[in-house]
Amino acid sequence: DIQMTQSPSSLSASIGDRVTITCRASQTISNCLNWYQQRPGKVPKLLIYAASSLQGGVPSRFSGSGSGTEFTLTISSLQPEDFATYFCQQSCRTWTFGQGTRVEVK
């Protein structure tokens, strides 16, 4: 099975900060990597697919990069609605999620 490890598990940031979250796969997954945002009490929402493609309707401050085993999600300028938990997901062999990264107010 492919394991996905996110870091950090949580972080504190302020409005306007640049935020970077890392996701590592236990084996190479090419670009089979998606990112989701889950706000408190809500269902997960797709942000990025295929490592770097922005889902329709998602603000351009979100971006993804990486290939192989290491991937990043970047929020260029954190907004109030971005305080949430972010999950990566591999889609090369069935599906596996990372454990999540909680972005909190500093």
Partner 1 sequence: EVQLLESGGGLVQPGGSLRLSCAASGFSFSNYAMSWVRQTPGKGLEWVSAIGDSGYNTYYADSVKGRFTISRDNSKNSLYLQMNGLRVEDTAVYYCVKEQWVTVAGTPTGLFDYWGQGAPVTVSS
Q: Is residue 97 close enough to count as binding partner 1 by CB under 8 A?
A: yes
Is residue 34 at the binding interface for partner 1, with CB under 8 A as the rule? yes
User: What would the two tokens of residue 58 be?
Assistant: 């998602």
Helix (H, G, I), strand (E, B) or coil at 18: coil
Min CB(61)–partner 1 separation in Å: 20
Residues in region 41-80 near partner 1 by CB under 8 A: 43-44, 46, 49-50, 53, 55
CB under 8 Å to 50, separation ≥6 — which residues? 31, 32, 33, 34
Distance, C-alpha 63 to centroid of its chain? 9
Residues in contact with partner 1 by CB under 8 A are 1, 30-32, 34, 36, 43-44, 46, 49-50, 53, 55, 87, 89, 91, 94-100
